[in-house]
Structure 1
Amino acid sequence: MSTPVVLIAGLHAPARTAAVDRLLHDHPGAVAIHHDLREVVRERVERVVRDRSGILDLAEVRLAHGCVTCTVREDLLPELIRRAATASLLIVELWDAVEPRAVAEAVDCEEAHGVLRLTSVLTALDAVHMPIDITRGDRLAETGQVAAAGDQRFLAEVLARQIEYATGLVLHGGDTEDEELSRAVLDHLAPVTPVFGDDALPEVTGAALCTGMLAERIDPATARLPVDARTDEITTVVWHRLRPLHPARLFETVDELVTTSVRSRGRFWLATRPEQMLAWDAVAGVVSVEDAGPWLAALPQAAWEMVSPARRAAAALDWDEVTGDRVQHLVFTGPDLDPGHVHALLDSCLLTEEEMLAGSDAWAGYDDPFTGVLDLKETA
């Protein structure tokens, strides 16, 4: 019988610790493992193993290369397998800036099958800090929460990924007003993910999760994007169109789009790149545009069998006789967003009737400011 494993992610240690303590209390025989990565840039990590009675083991781990991946591969996974025989539940408390996806996929590996089963990915959130953190444009290096040498990620970027990948969210601290605001924000950022208090956590000893399905929940081609919503001062606006975007006009609007919203994401296509699905990912004023692979309409039908059922289902929902699965599907969340303004701004970036009639040969000659971003990433 495999041993259940639950991951606890989160930027703030007190929130994570409260969730871990509750699980240890509720599950006799549970063991928690935490790697302190403050010295990881010096290739040194401290591993702490504890149960409800206190610390069981404290060890310094030396790594050949100081990084989170090395820590998981060289120490966490072997430690989990070693303790599986005697623990009723294994709890992995991740370091502040660690995103749970990579760790979840490492645990859900062939080496551990039959010994470990990943059952939950929880993100513990500080109810006082979370609504502010998601708006912060600071890099991790500026906040003291770096997870590896040369880490250039932004705090809000990491927080968004911790929230959106999780199977459950756990609120800690603050007063009633803090909790209500946090729940309102989470209703927009992750509307289908259950939210718990740290005094009543979800069941974590059930069936194994499929990390492939977890990835599909957030990957651009298959992501479960939020819908139009308004709660108090927070608004989520969905923009869904079929026409291609003019790259130069869209590029000129990027700054306004990302500064008027706190979080935005989705998939889109440019007239100059009809075969490429592009992923839009922005948080706290920082935007990333990346190649997310080909649209199914750009592939021979024989190749469709090579993609996942979820990918084919998502394409079918968006399918149009002319554009195929090519679609503009972007979602923006922020305080007091004006849906009309967001729609008008983006609609102005679509090709006009005259430009549509000019055809793809004319589109190929448009100035494309995204070339410097996308082509650089493709050759990196």
Structure 2
Amino acid sequence: MTLSVVIVGGLHSDARRATVEQLLADVPGSVVLHHDLATAAAGTVVRTIRDATGVLSTGEAPLVNDCACCALREDLVPELLRLAGDATTRLAIVELWDSVEPKAMAEVVVVGGLTVTGVITAVDPALLLPYLGNGDDLADAGLAAAATDQRTVADTFARQLEYAPVLALVDSPEADDEDRELLAQLHPTARRVPVPGGHLGDSAGAPARADASGARSDLASAALAGFDVETAAAAQHPACALLPAEADAHGVSTLVWHRRRPFHPERLYAALEDLTCAAARSRGRFWLADKPDTLLHWDAAGGALCVESAGPWLASLPDAAWELVPPVRRAAAALDWHPEHGDCCQHLVFTSPGLDRDGLERLLESCLLTDAEYAAGRDAWKRLPPAFDTLLEV
């Protein structure tokens, strides 16, 4: 029997543990593999393997290049392969440590020759906005996975949330309609599965036992439904990401802003702080007049913005190079092709409670080239001041 692997992650540790306990209760023959990176400062990563009855084994993985995540990668696949050799183990639940992101681990497991059947991020809806708004460095929160880890709480949580096709939602009494609506707008395509409890120590947090009839629970079904790492990676790539759609409900709005005209680099740069702070979460792709061939990625959460090059627009590539581009990228470009600019566009999405949609649109529009600047043509655009060179480390 082939071992199924489900990855359960998320910064909401109580929600994550409740999800893991529920899977143990729902799936006979399941075990949990967890690497505790909190001990990394002492030079080791502690590995624990347990089932529904208790701990089966513990061990230590030495640090690799002072990187706890690297130690996890080196140790994870051999342990899973060992579990795969045990005919009694049906499902391996990889419970990620707080700040470990599921994308990297799912890809490591697949490269190791194992089958990932599900990726789940556990969420307490009441904590959604506080975490998305937390611009603190992981290191300051004691959650860094390496000495060089420069991620923030907000951007890490956003990636954990948006990568997983399944969100396990604990029944949080503090959550309200706004929290649930924010979650729905941030990741509208996710399968949302309720999990009882989530506050360890409460009697309500005890996992419900599997149905006596043998029927598979929603959570177990999600864990075993199947997962494709290439499709998941494509869904996160700025060139073809499946971004949220327009929405407005329960005080939460999503603004989808799509334009063809390029940004003026200086005016956009001057507006970055206001644009970054305008929403709890914003992301997408954009282009600058002075860099018309470069696809730029916009990724903002917690009041911090990351802008980076995601390579060339397809419109800037020779025809022969298109064969080297993944089909999903070519398909996304074809659906959004413009006769003059090809796939070059502004496609930014802002999601937040209390979003000032009109003010945000006015600010974005003011950053585009004016009619006269646009009419001057690409040669003139390229001579505009390169305001983003420092940010892009050009």
Q: Given that residues 293 and 316 in structure 2 are in contact (C-alpha distance below 8 angstroms), is that contact kept between their aligned partners in structure 1?
A: yes
1:6 aligns with 2:3: no
User: 1:355: which partner in 2?
Assistant: 373
User: 1:103: which partner in 2?
Assistant: 105
One-letter amino acid of the counterpart of residue 365, structure 2:
D
Matches within 5 A, 1:124-163: 124-163=122-161
* Distance apart, 1:208 and its partner CA: 4.2
1:60 aligns with 2:78: no
One-letter amino acid of the counterpart of residue 195, structure 2:
D
Over 3 Å counting, the alpha-carbon distance change for 1:336 and 1:180 in structure 2 is: closer
One-letter amino acid of the counterpart of residue 149, structure 1:
A
1:183 aligns with 2:180: yes
1:72 aligns with 2:72: yes
1:37 aligns with 2:55: no
The whole-number CA distance in structure 1 between the counterparts of 2:64 and 2:339 is 54
Pick the aligned partner of 1:170 from 168, 171, 175: 168
Pick the aligned partner of 2:115 from 117, 129, 136: 117
Q: Alignment partner of 1:255: what SS?
A: helix
Q: Over residues 19-40 of structure 1, what are the superposed CA-to-partner deviations in whole Å (9 max), with x where a residue is unaligned?
A: 1111111111111100000122
* Distance apart, 1:310 and its partner CA: 0.9
Q: Over residues 321-365 of structure 1, what are the superposed CA-to-partner deviations in whole Å (9 max), with x where a residue is unaligned?
A: 100110100001112212222111111111111111211121111
* Distance apart, 1:225 and its partner CA: 0.4
Q: Given that residues 31 and 91 in structure 1 are in contact (C-alpha distance below 8 angstroms), is that contact kept between their aligned partners in structure 2?
A: yes
Q: Alignment partner of 2:93: what SS?
A: strand
Q: Over residues 64-106 of structure 1, what are the superposed CA-to-partner deviations in whole Å (9 max), with x where a residue is unaligned?
A: 4332442233211100010012210000000000111000100
* Distance apart, 1:300 and its partner CA: 0.7
TM-score (norm 1): 0.94
1:313 aligns with 2:310: no
The whole-number CA distance in structure 1 between the counterparts of 2:382 and 2:366 is 19
Percent identity for Structure 1 against Structure 2:
46
Q: How many residues align?
A: 371
Give 5+ residue unaligned stretches, structure 2. Answer: 197-217
The whole-number CA distance in structure 2 between the counterparts of 1:283 and 1:75 is 32
Q: Given that residues 239 and 285 in structure 2 are in contact (C-alpha distance below 8 angstroms), is that contact kept between their aligned partners in structure 1?
A: yes
Pick the aligned partner of 2:262 from 244, 250, 254: 244
Q: Over residues 1-59 of structure 1, what are the superposed CA-to-partner deviations in whole Å (9 max), with x where a residue is unaligned?
A: 42110000011322111111111111111111000001224431110100011100112
The whole-number CA distance in structure 2 between the counterparts of 1:292 and 1:223 is 12
The whole-number CA distance in structure 1 between the counterparts of 2:279 and 2:336 is 25
TM-score (norm 2): 0.91
The whole-number CA distance in structure 2 between the counterparts of 1:178 and 1:206 is 28
Q: RMSD over aligned Cα, in angstroms?
A: 1.5
One-letter amino acid of the counterpart of residue 103, structure 1:
M
Give 5+ residue unaligned stretches, structure 1. Answer: none
The whole-number CA distance in structure 2 between the counterparts of 1:259 and 1:25 is 42
User: 2:301: which partner in 1?
Assistant: 283
User: 2:194: which partner in 1?
Assistant: 197
Q: Alignment partner of 1:280: what SS?
A: strand
User: 1:342: which partner in 2?
Assistant: 360
The whole-number CA distance in structure 2 between the counterparts of 1:313 and 1:84 is 37
* Distance apart, 1:173 and its partner CA: 4.6
Q: Alignment partner of 1:260: what SS?
A: coil
One-letter amino acid of the counterpart of residue 372, structure 1:
T
Q: Given that residues 183 and 195 in structure 1 are in contact (C-alpha distance below 8 angstroms), is that contact kept between their aligned partners in structure 2?
A: no
